[in-house]
Amino acid sequence: MSNKQIRNIAIIAHVDHGKTTLVDQLLRQSGTFAAHEQVEECVMDSNAIEKERGITILAKNCAVSWEGTHINIVDTPGHADFGGEVERALSMVDGVVLLIDAQEGPMPQTRFVTKKALALGLRPIVVVNKVDKPGAKPDAVINAAFDLFDKLGATDEQLDFPVVYASGINGWSSLEEGEPGEKWGDSMAPLFETILRHVQPHEGEESAPLQMQISSLDYSSYVGRIGVGRINQGTIKPGMDVLVMEGPDGKTAKGRINQVLKFKGLDRMMVQEAGPGDIVLINGIEDIGMGVTITDPANPQPLPMLKVDEPTLTMNFCVNTSPLAGREGKFVTSRQIWDRLQKELQSNVALRVKETDEDGVFEVMGRGELHLTILIENMRREGFELAVGKPRVVFKEIDGVRCEPIELVTADIEEAHQGGVMQALGERKGELVNMEPDGRGRVRLEYRIPARGLIGFSNEFLNLTRGSGLISNIFDGYEPHKGDIGSRKNGVLISMDAGEIFTYALGKLDDRGRMFVKAGDPVYEGMIVGIHNRDNDLVVNATRTKQLTNFRVSGKEDAIKITPPIDLTLEYGVEFCEDDELVEITPKSVRLRKRYLVEHERKRMARENAAG
C-alpha cells in the first residue's frame, strides 16, 4: 500500500468528552465489525480497571478503512496523570482529532493535550461532540477553542482548523450547524472525509534506510516483548537484521525482526513487509525499549529518545510488615516488589523508581495520585502485598530557590456550594484565577494551587458539593514554596490489642468517631480502626467483649446501635493517611496502620521529631 493511502491520527480530549465512544462509532461505520457481531460499548477500554471506572488509562491502537484509505487511530487517555501515554501516542501520528464537549467547552486536560499536539506541529481537526445535549453551545465552544489555540502559540495554519459537529453516542456528524434538539447528520461520513482531506499522508521514502521509533510496548507469552511504532522511512520485513539505538549517543544493539504485524480493526494481522507511514508491531528483539530507534545496520539513522514530562508526586512502596502479612498475597518479598516495579518501568514511561536507604523501601514517582494508585491496584490484583506511605510532591531547586509543582484546578459546582469550596481551596493556598457563572445555577471556578494542597482534597470536595461537583487539575509549572498547608483536621482511633472486632466494642466506640472496621474483622496493635471525632489520636480497645454475669437483662436494653463503617477504598486510604501512617494493601483488604505499631515507639519518635 502506498503511503498516500495511509492516515495516522490520534483522538485527544479531556476526560469524559467522548473519545472512546467516538472510536466505537468509527469502527462500526467503517464496516470493521460484521453485521451479526455482538460488540460491547467502549470496546477500546479493554483493561479491567478501565471498564470499572469508565476511563481510558492506556493509549490503544486500532485501524479502519474508508474509501480505500487505511486510517490508523490511537485512542488516548484524558487524565493528565497518564500524560506519558498521550505524549508517546502523538509521536506516531500525522494529525489529531480534538474532541470538545459542546456543553463544557475546553477543560484543563483539553489544554494539556492540545499544547502537546501544537508543539509537535500537528494540525488539529476540532470535533464539537454531544451537540444534541441540552445546554449545548457549539458557537461559544469553537470561539473558546480558537482563544485556547491562540494562547498556546498556535501557528496561522493551526488556527485555521476545520470544525465537525458530532454526536458520538448517536453515531452522526455534520459540517453544518443545525437546529437544537434535531439530528444534523446521518453518519460519521463527514468526519471521515474531513480526516482524509486535512490530515496529510506521512512523507517518507520506501528506498531510504529503515528508521522506526518504538512509541509503545506490549508483551506476549509466545513471542516476548512487542514494539509498536510508526515507520518514518524505509521498509521493514520479517527476518531482517536491524540495529536498536537509544538515541544518537546511547547504547546500540543488534537484533533480528521475527514478525511484522499491522492493525486491522481491533485485530492484528501478519504482513510480509511494511513501509513509510505504517504503524506496525514487531517482535523478536528481546531488549527492545521505549523510544529506541530500529534502523538499518549499514546506514544507521537514530532519532532522539522520546521526552516525557518529569513526575510531580512520589510515594514510598515497602514490604508489608503488619502482623497480618502474608495471609492473602502470593508476592510479599522486597525482591518480588522490586522486580514488578522494574517490569512496570518498561512500558510506563512517566514512572521513576529508585531504592532508598531503608531496607525493603522503594521510592516510586509518578504524575499524580491516580497514576500511582492505578499501579497499586494492578499489583494487588496480581497477588502482591505491600504497604505505601503518604504521597509527597517532588520539589525542585531552581536558581537556588526551593520550588514546588503548581496545579491549575477547574471546579464545576452548584452556586449553593461555592462558599464552602472557595474557603477550602483558600485554606490550601489556592489562588482564584477565574470565575464564570453559567446562568443556570452552576459556576466554574479556576484556581492555581500547590500540588500539596490537592492531596486528600477529592473526598472533601465530594462532601462539600454533595457529590454534584466536577473537579479536574493539570500541572502548570514550578513556583517557589508557598508555605505550610494544614493537614488532616481529625485524629484517628488506634487499636491497642490484636484479635477480632466484636459488636459490643463497636457499640462502645460509636460515639468516639466513624469506624473503618466491622464486626468479625481481624485487628492488631497499632492498626487504625476509625476516625476520631477530635483532632488527637486515641488508643482504644477494639477487641473488648461483654463481661458475662448471672443476671438476665431484657433484649431491648441490650440492643447496640452502630453507625455503618466507612468503606475504606485504596484511593480513600492513600488520601487519608498522614506522614506517620501507612496504607496496607493486600489482594482482598485495604487497612490503615501507624508506621510504628507500639505506642511507646510512637511517642519516642514524636519526641525525636519535635527535638530535631
φ, ψ for residue 15, nearest 5 deg: -60, 135
Spatial neighbors of 608 by CB under 8 A, at least 6 apart, are none
The most distant pair of C-alpha atoms in the chain lies apart, rounded to whole Å, by 97
CA distance 489 to 347: 39
104 HSE (CA, 13 A, CB side): 24
214, β-bridge pairs: 229
The string of DSSP codes covering 208-259 is SPPEEEEEEEEEETTTEEEEEEEEEES-B-TT-EEEEESTTTS-EEEEE--E
Do residues 441 and 414 touch, judged by C-beta distance below 8 A? Answer: yes
Instruction: Kindly provide the residue ranges of all beta strands, DSSP E only, lying in 492-598, ordered along the sequence.
Output: 492-495, 499-500, 513-515, 522-523, 527-532, 538-540, 581-585, 590-594
Do residues 29 and 193 touch, judged by C-beta distance below 8 A? Answer: no
The string of DSSP codes covering 169-205 is TTTEEESS---TTS---SSSHHHHHHHHHHSPPPP--
Q: Nearest 5°: CA angle at 575, between 571 and 578?
A: 140
The string of DSSP codes covering 271-298 is -S-B-TT-EEEEE--TT--TTPEEE-SS
CA distance 370 to 363: 16
8, β-bridge pairs: 72
**Cell for 441?**
445555577
| Long-range contacts of 376-380, Cβ-Cβ distance < 8 Å, separation of 24 or more | 376/317, 376/570, 376/574, 376/585, 377/49, 377/570, 378/49, 379/337, 379/340, 379/585, 380/329, 380/570, 380/585, 380/586, 380/587
Q: In angstroms, what is the C-alpha Rg of the chain?
A: 27
Provide the CA 23 distance to its chain's centre, in angstroms: 19
Reduced to 3 states (helix: H, G, I; strand: E, B; else coil), residue 26 is helix
CA distance 252 to 292: 9
> Quick one: 607 exposed, middle or buried, by C-beta within 10 A (0-12, 13-18, 19+)?
exposed
- The closest alpha carbon to 129, from 103, 162, 105, 102, belongs to 102
Q: Mark the binding-site residues, compressed into ranges.
A: 16-21, 129-132
Spatial neighbors of 560 by CB under 8 A, at least 6 apart, are 503, 504, 506, 507
**Cell for 133?**
445535549
Spatial neighbors of 36 by CB under 8 A, at least 6 apart, are none
Q: Mark the binding-site residues for GTP, compressed into ranges.
A: 16-21, 129-132
